[in-house]
Amino acid sequence: MPAYFKSQNDKWVKCISASGTIRAIAVSATETATFFSKRHQMNDDGTIKALSEALVAGLILSSYCKAEEKINLNIQGSGWCKHAIIDANADAEVRGYVVARPKEEVKISKDVGPWGIGLLSVLRTKHQENKPYIGTVPLLTGHLAKDLTFYWLQSEQVQSAVGIEVITQGGSLQRAEGFLIQAMPGATEQDISYIESHLRKFQQFRENTAEQDNPKNLLSYLLEDQTFSILEEKQITAHCPCSLDRVKRSLLLIGEAELTAIFSEGQQTEINCDFCSEKYFISPSQIKELIKTLHP
Ligand SMILES: [Zn+2]
């Protein structure tokens, strides 16, 4: 079955300050990231961490999508991973995968974080529209949260602070969470410096608490001296919409000559979904049916 898992604990919580000039979101996605790392049969701390960070980043990005909008986060780095792809939408549905780099090929200079240098792109698409808004920034620091902070400033012209924390131990994920605090139109200099001070605060929160992930606790801590109201609380769902029908439709794109070549081999064709590691098997007779549809 394609990936589907609705966590009881994972959610995002959005809020806005009473002044209306600061908005924030906190995400916890530990169970969802664990679900995907198991589906992809990952057992290495480095890649589990990379996938979990990217999933939290994707959810933070999608939390500000309008209804029926979705985002695609594409990270290409020189560190642990060659790339990471995450799809997420305004309904808090998410899926994703990373392509790990063989350990001997990982070259990260001392002053750069584990993602290395590269590119970070965000495609924002409205449902059933094919013209995405694309924002691309260089991956400069190799720390996903810092580079995302730069993304919001550069690509969306919004002063932000992003924090992502993922803890793994012995090949299993202990915690995956994050937050975004942003200045809204009308924000004062004071608001902006308040936002900037939060990256340090996030670190202290984790050093001083052994509590389970709870986005509301994190927001209360981060915004302790502000009055704020909760705008939305949404459960996160691991969801991949792949299906045998979609796989067949994508096979049609390779063209008749290629399909005929596959058919003549007489073997069952195996196709894996990158996003959820679901395996699909297509028989030669199904390939024949597909070829027929090309000649209505
Ligand atoms: Zn899938």
User: How far, in Å, is the centroid of ligand 1 from the Cα of 215?
Assistant: 28
Q: Considering all CA atoms of the chain, what is the largest pairwise distance in Å, rounded to the nearest integer?
A: 70
pLDDT one-digit tens code per residue, 22-68? 999 999 999 999 999 999 999 989 899 999 999 999 999 999 898 88
User: How far, in Å, is the centroid of ligand 1 from the Cα of 243?
Assistant: 7
Q: Which residue has the higher pLDDT, 225 or 259?
A: 259
Which of left, alpha, beta for 224 (phi over 0: left; psi -120 to 50: alpha)? alpha
Mean local confidence (pLDDT), 207-226? 75
User: How far, in Å, is the centroid of ligand 1 from the Cα of 271?
Assistant: 11
Q: Are 275 and 87 in contact (CB under 8 A)?
A: yes
Measured CA to CA, the distance from residue 69 to residue 91 in angstroms comes to: 9
- Coil/strand/helix, residue 173: strand
Q: How does residue 276 score in pLDDT terms, banded at 50, 70 and 90?
A: very high
Q: Which amino acid is at 66?
A: K
Q: How many helices (H) and strands (E) does the chain have?
A: 9, 12
pLDDT above 90 for 295: no
Measured CA to CA, the distance from residue 177 to residue 222 in angstroms comes to: 14
Classify the C-alpha dihedral 201-202-204-209 as positive or negative. positive
Whole-model pTM?
Answer: 0.92
pLDDT exceeding 90 applies to what percent of the chain? 62
Q: What is the H or E stretch that residue 230 is in?
A: strand 228-239
Mean local confidence (pLDDT), 83-98? 97
User: How far, in Å, is the centroid of ligand 1 from the Cα of 55?
Assistant: 15
User: How far, in Å, is the centroid of ligand 1 from the Cα of 38?
Assistant: 14
pLDDT above 70 for 186: yes
pLDDT above 60 for 273: yes
User: How far, in Å, is the centroid of ligand 1 from the Cα of 246?
Assistant: 10
User: How far, in Å, is the centroid of ligand 1 from the Cα of 4?
Assistant: 9
User: How far, in Å, is the centroid of ligand 1 from the Cα of 242?
Assistant: 4
pLDDT exceeding 70 applies to what percent of the chain? 94
User: How far, in Å, is the centroid of ligand 1 from the Cα of 241?
Assistant: 6
Q: Are 85 and 72 in contact (CB under 8 A)?
A: yes
How far is Cα of residue 42 from the mean position of the Cα atoms in its chain?
17
pLDDT one-digit tens code per residue, 63-89? 989 888 999 999 999 998 999 999 999
User: How far, in Å, is the centroid of ligand 1 from the Cα of 41?
Assistant: 14
pLDDT at 187: 85
User: How far, in Å, is the centroid of ligand 1 from the Cα of 125?
Assistant: 19
What domains appear along the chain, each with residue ranges and CATH number?
4-239 (3.55.30.10), 244-293 (3.90.1280.10)
Measured CA to CA, the distance from residue 97 to residue 85 in angstroms comes to: 6
Q: Which residue has the higher pLDDT, 183 or 200?
A: 183
pLDDT one-digit tens code per residue, 120-132? 999 999 877 777 8
User: How far, in Å, is the centroid of ligand 1 from the Cα of 1?
Assistant: 9
User: How far, in Å, is the centroid of ligand 1 from the Cα of 95?
Assistant: 8
Mean local confidence (pLDDT), 236-249? 94
pLDDT at 221: 81
Among residues 25, 17, 23, 18, the alpha carbon closest in space to that of 159 is found at 23
Q: Which residue has the higher pLDDT, 100 or 294?
A: 100
User: How far, in Å, is the centroid of ligand 1 from the Cα of 114?
Assistant: 27
pLDDT at 203: 65
Cα-based distances in Å from 105 to 80, 102, 123: 9, 5, 29
Q: Are 139 and 77 in contact (CB under 8 A)?
A: yes
User: How far, in Å, is the centroid of ligand 1 from the Cα of 157?
Assistant: 34
User: How far, in Å, is the centroid of ligand 1 from the Cα of 31?
Assistant: 18
Out of 57-61, 97-101, 221-225, 258-262, pick the least confident. 221-225
pLDDT at 267: 92
pLDDT above 60 for 212: no
